[in-house]
Structure 1
Amino acid sequence: MRATWRGLPARRYDVGWEPGLVVPAADGSPLLTDHYFPRGRGDFPTVLVRSPYGRGLPWSPMFGVLLAEQGFHVVLQSCRGTGGSGGTFDLWHNEPADGRATVAWLRDQPWFDGRLGTTGPSYLGYTQWALALDPPPELRAMAVQVGLHDPHALFHSHGALRLETALVVGVGMTYQHQGIATFLRATLRLQRHLREITRKLPLRESVRPGLGGGIPWLDEVMAHPDPDAPYWKGACTADVADRATVPTALISGWHDVLLDQTVEQYGRLRRAGCATSLLIGPWTHTSALQRGWPEVFAETLAWLRAHLCDDPSGLRPTRVRVHTGGRDAAWRDLDDWPASPAGEDWFPASGGRLATEEPEGSGPLASFGYDPADPTPSVGGQLLSPAAGPRDNKALEAREDVLVFTGPVLTEPLEIRGPVSARLRVSTDTGHADVFARLCDVDGHGRSTNVCDGLVRLVPGREDPAWTTVPMSSTAHRFAAGHRVRLQIAGGAHPRFARNTGTGEPVLDATRPTPVRITLHASSALVLPRAGATGPGGSPADGSTTAHGPGDARE
């Protein structure tokens, strides 16, 4: 572990280990649990980590060993139906009750002193929010890393299925807790079959070979795109943050598939007046736990010490710390994250221009054909796979089914900070289409690198052309002088999102791919949240400061 990462804190204690403890779930099923503890005298607080991905790599060294070395009892538990625990895994349904049952068990342990915190990434974040639905009095701190609170939003985005994410999650939750060798075989099988299974129709039948068989809960997840469907009742724990009192640290990355959920959590916690902090780095969902781990662990450890050990010495002086991307990448320490900064409109114009002045007229500006039999491919962005993150978009932008609008060469840096969106006026010839919008940074050599993006499935039957807002996620990015701002418009990003087959059939059962023509009309706009003006010496004049540290990656 220490050979893998530099910058980890020095070990304070040797670590003891009690593996395979049995904790009764809410229904009596045995939950297998490992207990890590510091070998030292005195009382130590406890950190609970509940996972559906097993208790071995990477959780054992990342949480069990590293936190116990720092003076914490660590309770690492396999969720019901995973990692040898009894019962049946049922996605989100059992986590609130089983979390409470585990705390009840903790109260009977002689080493538990009544101080409890939680931590963990992804679904391990969901188990934390589930416990906070009815927080036990012992719960004093949460550290949610690249965390989930809304399962529906993980699998669906504005009417479209996040296909590649669904498949990767299906493999992870089905095989990771069975051991690293089994998980690697399943992951490689999915990679080999990804193009084949995402191209065949209908999807309901094509996905099974790549997953090693059917996964009933995944079939249900993909078959219910409507967040208000009865299937999703009780799944979303977002409103926990609206009444939260447990101090909560939030950590994410700009290319994390769960970034939007983290930003939403932060906004809700702030409005509730709950103690919170936000760290967003130049990471994907997985790289936050790899090359970003020294920064992530330091943030987690400081938060747990502050609220479980009454030691705030490691906390940052500001509530928010974000990595600002671009050629001159740097960390920014901020008093807060902008909930709704003033937007600056950039307008697509004739000749592929992106202008700061709105063009005259409102007629058709440009159009392109989208063929679901040859779907526009996805390149980088918010994915769970190694293909995530910033990528060269040259080949993508050369396709005829991608519109590209590019701004003038910047004479001075342009820094943006907050949610980006595209306000588009579009029409189609069939009524069934998706609109994908992406912001790119074009350097002096013409390399176009994605910054943020989003996709929306159009609603048939509205007026044509219709106004459509495409949320493109949040970002912090500095376009350097000599660079250009670019907006991409396409009809999809496959297999990141399941293709719109153009017929209105349910996504899992569609069999008739039908091409569609999409037209962009004038007065459409890219909305950029411009950060504060630059002050003397290049420092922002909006109260933020530039910081450098072990996570100051130039990516």
Structure 2
Amino acid sequence: MPSRTPDAVTGPVWVPPAGKPPLSSRMMRATWRGLPAKRHEVGWEPGLVVPAADGSPLITDHYFPRAQGDFPTLLVRSPYGRGLPWSPQYGLLFAEQGFHVVLQSCRGTGGSGGVFDLWRNETADGRATVSWLREQPWFNGTLGTVGPSYLGYVQWALALDPPPELKAMVVQVGLHDPYALFHADGALRLENVLAVGAGMTYQHQGMVPFLKATLRLQRRLRDVTAAQPLRGAYESALGGEVPWLDDVMTHPDAKDAYWRGASLAESAERLGVPTALITGWHDALVDQTFGQYDRLRRAGCETALLVGPWTHTSALQQGWPEVFAESLAWLRAHLCADPSGLRPTAVRVHINGENTWRDLDDWPPASAATSWYPAPDGHLTQRPPTESAPLTTFRYDPADPTPSLGGPLLSRTAGPRDNSVLEARDDVLTFTGPPLTEPVDILGPVSARLGISTDTGHADVFARLCDVDAQGRSVNVCDGLGRLRTTGSEPSQVTVEMSSTAHRFAAGHRIRWQISGGASPRYARNPGTGESPVDATTFTPVRVTVHTDSVLMLPSSSGLE
């Protein structure tokens, strides 16, 4: 452990160790462009042992500025290892800017002791790490947290009962509710489950094992998602059994005791620590971020929101200059008393379709809700129907499930895509409005209320908003899935929350509402029988009828009032 030596003028002085950051981290750092110039050379103290709540060793690396003076500390706790890209992206970059950075492997990962659990240990282990920090000679009592995805979850865990030293948080594309990551209205988010299974199992072992696992999953994805039953089929793709993965797949009810304590939504409901939130319009966790923002604002907590044109992964790649600048400005303002980098408004969003940024006072902004109705021959109109009646029908066959295409995923296939091939299928309905005479901005949450009847009584409904350009190219904007059970031929109402967007439909473009019976493998296919999709061995095609009283609801801020 580094020591302090007495100094007659300044008192005890910490003597930093001589180690440099890993060569691989320095090489990756040299490839980045558009980042602030470094302020300090960086030192590295690897392999520190921090006792967890039960005494298990949590392996920790310490990055620090090679300069005299007191610097605040950033705590970054990760289940994905401490190597690339975390070492350069968080350890090296933030230490260059004048922060001690404590990069720690969660228990059961990256050499740390104990057994990894998706949520049950993070609160206690975070508190134990802060207790350890208090004993370090370089810790000046000012603490912040930063990090993406599960590294956001551990921040919310610490914020359940925030230590007095915690002065700022930056949650990037962050998680607070594991249930919502794996399930939507009782439907299994299968692709997320498999991606998280591969990431949590292999990423902390290093880039090579993780890359091999990712490629193996891609090769075997079709076989896994088509298996009957689905239970256990992932083992060939992930290299063996993952016990917690079985658990999350087989507990589709959010009220099940299994999920007790998993959601950390309550952290934001009473938090007083200034918190910046960053997400992308096609991030698999974008709706969780909006929930975090809403709770923080209602709690009166100082907060900021940045939403870019990113997916879960591209926010930390192509979007990293913006994400890093936003994070650094927030941390300097609240840990270093330097607010010069803060923007004047609480919210900044990227307007897709226009490719510009817009500053807002709040999210969502005030808007006039507009309703669009499906009409015969695939038209979409603002004229409400005169009666409720069957409009059109499609057949969903789980043996040939409607494929997923783009959207908010964890994988590299996420984001906006040309939907032309998808919309040519017989099991995909489209309703398209007339060419717009002026630009239309849609800012806020999008939803659909559908009148549906089926012949089996069990179906999923996938609804998607698309932007159709003058050449007929249809690109997804936002979407969602709902699950319903119907009785006989009588229609039932199902509301599908289609996430939120900030999108400009240009003049000459058309608004399209896409409806289908699923999106595989993003969601596990509905067997059509009421059985669990994890255990079903019998799959029944479903005839789905859409009724005229269905409605697409758009939060229009211009052009449609």
TM-score class normalised by the smaller sequence = over 0.9
1:396-435 alignment, distance < 5 Å: 396-435=422-461
Q: Which residue of structure 1 lines up, in the alignment, with residue 110 of structure 2? A: 83
Contact 1:52/1:82, CA 8 A, preserved across alignment:
yes
Q: Paired residue for 1:498?
A: 524
Paired with 2:309 and 2:406, the residues of 1 have a C-alpha distance of: 14
Aligned partner of 2:504 in structure 1 is 478
Shift of 1:205: 2.6
Runs of 4+ that moved beyond 4 A: 460-463
- Report the alpha carbon displacement of residue 221 of structure 1 after superposing the two structures with TM: 0.6
Aligned partner of 1:379 in structure 2 is: 405
Cα drift, residue 240 of structure 1: 1.0
Q: Which moved more, 1:23-32 or 1:337-346?
A: 337-346
Q: 1:68 to 1:145 in 2, by over 3 A?
A: same
What is the rounded CA distance, in whole Å, between the counterparts of 1:153 and 1:461 in structure 2? 28
Match of 2:273 among 223, 246, 271: 246
Aligned to 1:128: 155
| Letter of the 1:526 counterpart | L
Q: 1:175 aligns with which of 198, 202, 207?
A: 202
Greater displacement, 462-471 / 505-514: 462-471
Q: 1:322 aligned to 2:342?
A: no
2:556 to 530, 538, 541: 530
Residue identity over aligned pairs, in percent, reads 72
Partner of 1:552: none
Residue 274 of structure 1 is aligned with which of 291, 301, 305?
A: 301
Q: Deviations over 1:249-308 (max 9, x none)?
A: 000000000000000100010011000000000000000000000000000000000000
What residue is the counterpart of 1:103 in the other structure? 130
Matches within 5 A, 1:279-428: 279-326=306-353, 328-338=354-364, 341-428=367-454
Q: 8 Å contact 1:125–1:148 — kept in the other structure?
A: yes
1:516/1:33 CA distance change after superposition, 3 Å: same
1:4 aligns to what? 31
**In the aligned structure 2, how far is the partner of 1:240 from the partner of 1:78?**
22
Aligned to 1:42: 69
The residue that corresponds to 1:449 in the other structure is 475
CA distance in 1, matches of 2:208, 2:489: 53
Contact between 1:5 and 1:291, CA under 8 Å: does it hold in 2? no
1:175-213: CA deviations, max 9, x gaps? Answer: 000111111110000000001110111001321111111
Structure 1 gap ranges (5+): 535-540, 542-555
Q: CA deviation at 1:436?
A: 0.2
In structure 2, what is the Cα distance between the partners aligned to 1:69 and 1:349?
59
Name the structure 1 match of 2:214: 187
CA distance in 1, matches of 2:212, 2:497: 36
Secondary structure at the aligned position of 2:533 is classed as coil
* 1:296 match: secondary structure: helix
- From 178, 181, 185, the equivalent of 1:158 is 185
Aligned to 2:3: none
Q: Are the equivalent residues in 2 in contact too, given 1:267–1:339 (CA < 8 A)? A: no
Instruction: Specify the alignment match of 2:87 in structure 1.
Output: 60
Residue among 440, 445, 448 paired with 2:466: 440
After superposition, the Cα gap between the structure-2 partners of 1:460 and 1:20, relative to the gap in structure 1 and judged at 3 Å, is farther
TM-score, reference length from structure 2: 0.94
- Which amino acid in structure 2 is aligned with residue 350 of structure 1? P
Aligned residues: 534
Q: 2:488 & 2:236 partners in 1: Cα distance?
A: 38
Does residue 14 (structure 1) correspond to residue 41 (structure 2)? The answer is yes
Work out whether residues 447 and 553 of structure 2, in 8 Å CA contact, stay in contact via their aligned partners in 1: yes
The answer on whether the counterparts of 1:377 and 1:492 sit within 8 Å (CA) in structure 2 is yes
Aligned-residue offset at 1:459: 3.4
> How far does residue 393 in structure 1 lie from its aligned partner after superposition?
0.2
Q: Does 1:517 align with 2:543?
A: yes
Aligned-pair CA distance for 1:359: 2.5
Gaps of 5+ in 2: 1-27
1:428-448 deviation per Cα after TM superposition (whole angstroms, max 9, x unaligned): 111110000000000000000
For residue 523 of structure 1, report the CA deviation from its aligned partner.
Answer: 1.8
Q: Could you tell which deviates more after superposition, 299-308 or 356-365?
A: 356-365
State how far apart, in whole Å, the 1-side matches of 2:366 and 2:450 are. 19
Are positions 1:204 and 2:227 aligned together? no
Q: 1:233 aligns with which of 232, 253, 260?
A: 260
Distance in 2 (CA, whole Å) between partners of 1:343 and 1:419 is 10
Pairwise CA distance, 1:339: 6.9
**Cα offset, 1:330, TM superposition:** 0.8
Deviations 1:307-328 (A, max 9, x none): 00011000011100000101x2
> By how many angstroms is 1:466 displaced?
1.0
Aligned counterpart, 1:69 = 96
Q: Distance in 1 between matches of 2:188 and 2:92?
A: 38
Q: 2:438·2:559 contact (CA, 8 Å) conserved in 1?
A: no
Q: Distance in 2 between matches of 1:351 and 1:182?
A: 52
Secondary structure, aligned partner of 2:309: strand
3-state SS of the aligned residue for 2:278? strand
1:435 partner letter: V
1:423-477 CA distance string (max 9 Å, x none): 1111111111000000000000000000000001113559930111100000000
Pick closer, same or farther for the CA change 1:459–1:137 going to 2, 3 Å. Answer: farther
Secondary structure of the structure 1 residue equivalent to 2:233: helix
- Offset of residue 3 of structure 1: 4.2
Residue 113 (structure 1) shift: 0.3
CA deviation string 1:1-35 (max 9, x = no partner): 44433210000000000000000000100000000
**RMSD of the alignment, in Å?**
1.3
